Amino acid sequence: MSDSDLSALREQAARGNRDAIGELIELAAEREDFDELRRLADRGSRDAADQLVELASEKSDLNELRRLAAGGNRDAADVLAELNEEALTEEDE
């Protein structure tokens, strides 16, 4: 996708076009673009927030998970709790 196509898609998303938002989320997830996903999540996209949690989890990005959890994202908090539990289990072994 060219830069101009991406800019046009962002403009459509900013105007509330759900298809454009969905496409941006998909592209951002494929590119592992945390910034794009954050922008979309901050504008209220639950799907972008879900992708952000998933990507942060896959990348073991604890700082991002903590940021999301501190902002009230229960999924991020759950992932952090699971990761902490796993770490404690590994320490006990």
The confidence band for 83, taking pLDDT boundaries of 50, 70 and 90, is confident
Q: For 5-44, how does the pLDDT look when each residue is reduced to its tens digit (9 = 90+)?
A: 999 999 999 999 999 999 999 999 999 999 999 999 999 9
Structure tokens at 27: 């592209």
Global pTM? 0.85
* Beta carbons within 10 angstroms of residue 12's beta carbon: 16
Q: Could you give the CA distance from residue 58 to residue 30 in angstroms, rounded to a whole number?
A: 13
